[in-house]
Structure 1
Amino acid sequence: MFESAELGHKIKKSEYKKEVPVLREELLNVQMELTESAAFQVIILVGGLDGAGRGATVNLLNEWMDPRHIQTHGMGEPTDEELDRPMMWRFWRALPPKGNIGVFLGSWYTWPMLNRAYGRTKDADLEQSLDRARSLEKMLVDEGALLIKFWFHLSKEKQKKRLKSLEKNPFTRWKVTKRDKKHFKMYDRFRAVHEKVIRHTSTAEAPWLIIEGEDARYRNVTVGKLVLSAIRERLDQQALPSRKILAPPIMPSIDNLHLLKTLDMTQSLSKEEYRAQLKKYQGKLNRLTRDPKFKYTSVLAVFEGNDAAGKGGAIRRITGALDARWYQVIPIAAPTEEERAQPYLWRFWRHLPRKGRVTIFDRSWYGRVLVERVEQFCTEDNWLRAYGEINEFEAQLARHHIVVVKFWLAITEDEQLQRFHDREQTGFKRFKITDEDWRNRDKWEQYEVAVCDMVDRTSTNYAPWTLVEANSKYFARIKVLKTLCEKIEGKLKELYEEGVDYLEKPKKGK
């Protein structure tokens, strides 16, 4: 696999001096065109062996291009804040917006490879990490990002020569660390892991580009030309006319399931029963979130439902039981310009809770398979692939011991109409009813079909949907509180059974 990168390619100094000014000008021109169009973002991953010139080449790219529109991230050991969240979170939040270039010196491959080379993990663990990496990259590419992956390689003999050369020079000696020397002794082990990773993650949409790292001039020009070519080609593609195929106005159910029709909407509670159970479950929720082991997990509650189904009221009964310092409610509306410049899930990624915290989403990432599907705000391909992307996202949350609780609050069409009229006639509730609510009501059947498909496709064992019969607000609020308590209680029981060693915060890089 690496044989072609061990052939000793070189560029003469005279040729280099001739090529670089032209290359720099072309790179700046294409970067300016990218910035002005803001059609897509460019994500450059730079990986490879110690001493192969990764850092020097990244520095040169920053020198050759406009630094205002290129962000470089040296992804070293994760911070405590990053360890509190899924491994991918540190990369999610650092993604460049459309029109910009993001360079990652170290990537989502770094720690899985290091852990496997050091023997901390097994092949199966590495495979799972690679699956997650492929899923992320496919999602980024499907969202329109241009992903360029460079792997800088040196033969064992050339790496040894490179490290010795750096160590001889008093001005570069600092570049050779104990870690570099240790990794050189593990060269064969690292090469085996690297080959496996590159073989399994070099895909049609995001292939690895192997760069020979011995000759700096060859390395720099090759990387510059590849970046230029990739951006130029994508810009030319963007200029071509394209026809978006939208979902038809009336859409049949994907799986022909009608789960909402099976709900018993007559369930209710008396005011006295409600008050007693509200006190019981709010007290229980408060105790659970103050449990000593709660600091090793976090809760992410998602609220979706029909307009006027009582999501806000249910959320207030949850927050009324919590310490205001440790929860956050995220209301989701139409995306901002900043959010439109990022992959769809970015606006949700950045609000993930730290350990010991509760985050509540009033509407969520399910908007893509609900409102965006029905209102034709995205293509059919986009909302169809969103099911898989959402399931992968929630699987990562669950793997990081985040309790994911998802509620769909359902009311009947007649009950919604009554609540709409009540809101119009009550002064302090009028702000809750808008023209958009009435427009959505006209598409009741289409939304019902979309909800049934959503529940069927995204209700998993690690993040199941809870359907809440919400014609009775009292019944709905208690069901929400009771379900939330059960989920948190189950996670705490799991943590206690796993024992103290399991609960210790992992060391950085482990």
Structure 2
Amino acid sequence: MFEATKVGRSVSKEEFKQQRDELRTQLLDAQRQLRETRIPVVVIVAGVEAAGKGEVVNRLNEWLDSRGLQTFAFWNLSDEERERPRYWRFWRTLPARGELAVLFGGWYQAPIEHRFKGLCDDAALDAELNRIVNFERMLIQDGALVVKFWFHLSERDQRRRLKELSRDDRSRWKMLPEKAHFSEHYQLFEHVAERVIRHTDLGIAPWYLIEATDSRYRDLTVGKTLLQAIRARIQQPLPMEPAPAADALNLPDSSSAQITLLDQLDLTRTLEHDEYQTALKRLQAELNELAWTAYKQRRSMVLVFEGADAGGKGGAIRRITAAVDARLYRAIPVAAPTDEEKAHHYLWRFWRHIPRAGQMIIYDRSWYGRVLVERVEGFANDAEWRRAYNEINEFEEQLVEHGAILLKFWLQVSEDEQLRRFEDRAQTPYKQYKITAEDWRNREKWPQYKAAVNEMVARTSTEHAPWSLVEGNDKPFARIKVLQTLCNRLRVALNGEDQFRSLTNRCGDEGMKPAGG
């Protein structure tokens, strides 16, 4: 694979000067077009040691407008990165639409290093590479351009280059915080790199192998390749998506489904006032203890609340927050996305709020808006909401793999009870802020929302992240069921009996593991 990068290509000083200025002008024009077309560009820079990756990135920063370009190096993990899933640090660096981000190593760096050092086997590496393929495909389907450069040198040229760098005390290479010294085992590193590149060299996100022996040839080749990739992406629409696969779950078409999972709920269930008060006091005391235990064990908690409008989400959340120390949780009300959030993949705004170890995050509505309101109201097209099921399942799997305790609640009320609550809100002054014209409009689409919820639960209630369906007509009953479910789940997880938590270390995962495991 790497023989083509050891030919010995070079460019003279005169030729470099002749091409440089024109190339820079063209790159700046392409960058302007990116802003107009709102296409985000992710540039991955990887390769062998001493290939001049830093020099290339500095050159790109010189040639491009730095106001639309950011560069990120993924050196040692910070404490806050260790306490979250591995991809959290990458989601934070993804460029907004119309901008570029250059990532040193990106999501490839840790898997390559871990396999090189023998910290994982080929099977674990391949599993992580499959995740990378899915991640890149997701970004590209959302409109991003992913350009991946691998810089290579022959073993002889690398030794010569390293010798030169070691003699120069001012070389950028010597100033790096850590050097992995892959060059000491050149053949092994090349073998691992070849496996990684072959596995992830896709038509929609190909690798570009760059011969790095001559710096002028290297820099011009990178500039021209990046320019060509940007122009091609601007001129062509997104790659055609395949038609949705056959329904593996054998679900009926959502528009024709008559009986849904929600119809199986017994909405007549109630709880007497005295019984409710006794259970509430007991469960809130238990939840307080469990929250502190999770903090001590450094287990993060992610609670998702979805449900019908006026379904009682707010009341259930308040019974949780009343029991938990305010220093341990954050409640995130999810509304229409801001301009900054619209400039990124829809999962970006949820990744950024993932809690640190020992903390609890409560989402009042969540990423499921993509397959609910965005689907029903037409804010997401058919392809976008259909592929969101797999994207969401992958997201939640990463949370659980890292040790997060994830609970998802759907609170359901009958159509008649929802109408009663709407009218009560409209007539009660201090409740009027809760009812909007949009709520009434959504009510007119009750059958469409009901079908969407049914499909959402069927496709995203997984072993690692099951849904808890809550009968919500009687508020006391619903609140106690939520608290009881939450306490039961925390108790199991914190006692080390969590069957949903993955015990397999993925290649490249250096994150903090929960106490006791």
Structure 1 stretches of 5 or more lacking a match? 246-250
Kindly provide the amino acid, as one letter, of the partner of residue 457 in structure 1. Answer: R
Partner SS for 1:108: helix
CA-CA distance at 1:344 after TM superposition:
1.1
- Partner residue, 2:358: 356
CA-CA distance at 1:124 after TM superposition:
2.1
The 2-side partners of 1:231 and 1:387 are apart by: 30
Deviations 1:151-182 (A, max 9, x none): 11112111111111222345439638896583
- Partner residue, 1:464: 466
CA contact (8 A) 1:163 1:176 kept: no
The 2-side partners of 1:324 and 1:167 are apart by: 53
- Partner residue, 2:233: 234
The 1-side partners of 2:31 and 2:393 are apart by: 35
- Partner residue, 1:12: 12
1:56-455 alignment runs, 5 A limit? 56-172=55-171, 175=174, 180=179, 182-237=181-236, 252-253=253-254, 256=257, 258-291=260-293, 294-455=296-457
Are positions 1:23 and 2:44 aligned together? Answer: no
What TM-score, normalized by structure 1, do the two folds share? 0.93
CA-CA distance at 1:295 after TM superposition:
3.6
The 2-side partners of 1:77 and 1:252 are apart by: 49
The 1-side partners of 2:228 and 2:411 are apart by: 50
Residue 264 to residue 44, structure 1, CA distance change in 2 (3 Å): same
Residue 361 to residue 465, structure 1, CA distance change in 2 (3 Å): same
CA contact (8 A) 2:151 2:211 kept: yes
Deviations 1:175-200 (A, max 9, x none): 38896583211211111111111111
Residue 163 to residue 495, structure 1, CA distance change in 2 (3 Å): farther
CA contact (8 A) 2:294 2:494 kept: no
CA contact (8 A) 1:10 1:217 kept: yes
Residue 174 to residue 360, structure 1, CA distance change in 2 (3 Å): closer
Residue 8 to residue 504, structure 1, CA distance change in 2 (3 Å): closer
Deviations 1:425-469 (A, max 9, x none): 111111111110110000000000000000000000100000000
The 1-side partners of 2:349 and 2:512 are apart by: 27
The 2-side partners of 1:414 and 1:217 are apart by: 73
- Partner residue, 2:247: none
CA-CA distance at 1:134 after TM superposition:
1.1
Residue 305 to residue 178, structure 1, CA distance change in 2 (3 Å): closer
Residue 227 to residue 2, structure 1, CA distance change in 2 (3 Å): same
Partner SS for 1:109: helix
Identity of paired residues, percent?
50
The 1-side partners of 2:177 and 2:66 are apart by: 32
CA-CA distance at 1:135 after TM superposition:
1.4
CA-CA distance at 1:238 after TM superposition:
5.6
CA contact (8 A) 1:151 1:210 kept: yes
How many equivalent residue pairs? Answer: 495
Kindly provide the amino acid, as one letter, of the partner of residue 135 in structure 2. Answer: L
CA-CA distance at 1:352 after TM superposition:
0.4
CA-CA distance at 1:505 after TM superposition:
4.5
CA-CA distance at 1:126 after TM superposition:
1.1
The 2-side partners of 1:123 and 1:254 are apart by: 45
What TM-score, normalized by structure 2, do the two folds share? 0.91
CA contact (8 A) 2:333 2:365 kept: yes
CA-CA distance at 1:292 after TM superposition:
6.6
The 1-side partners of 2:255 and 2:390 are apart by: 14
CA contact (8 A) 2:85 2:511 kept: no
C-alpha RMSD of the superposition: 2.5
CA-CA distance at 1:496 after TM superposition:
10
CA-CA distance at 1:252 after TM superposition:
3.9
Residue 371 to residue 505, structure 1, CA distance change in 2 (3 Å): closer
CA-CA distance at 1:253 after TM superposition:
1.2
Deviations 1:199-221 (A, max 9, x none): 11111211111111111011100
Q: Which one is further off, 167-176 or 100-109? A: 167-176
Residue 254 to residue 147, structure 1, CA distance change in 2 (3 Å): farther
CA-CA distance at 1:365 after TM superposition:
0.3
Residue 349 to residue 427, structure 1, CA distance change in 2 (3 Å): same
Partner SS for 2:236: helix
CA contact (8 A) 1:267 1:472 kept: yes
The 1-side partners of 2:405 and 2:353 are apart by: 15
Residue 303 to residue 159, structure 1, CA distance change in 2 (3 Å): same
Deviations 1:33-92 (A, max 9, x none): 222x15210100101111011110000000111111100001111101000000000000
Runs of 4+ in 1 over 4 A off after TM superposition: 176-181, 254-257, 495-498, 502-507
Partner SS for 1:76: coil
The 2-side partners of 1:261 and 1:20 are apart by: 67
Partner SS for 1:494: coil
Kindly provide the amino acid, as one letter, of the partner of residue 422 in structure 1. Answer: D
CA contact (8 A) 1:38 1:100 kept: no
The 2-side partners of 1:305 and 1:171 are apart by: 60
Structure 2 stretches of 5 or more lacking a match? 244-251
The 1-side partners of 2:235 and 2:33 are apart by: 11
Residue 170 to residue 109, structure 1, CA distance change in 2 (3 Å): closer
- Partner residue, 1:479: 481
Partner SS for 1:125: helix
The 2-side partners of 1:173 and 1:235 are apart by: 35
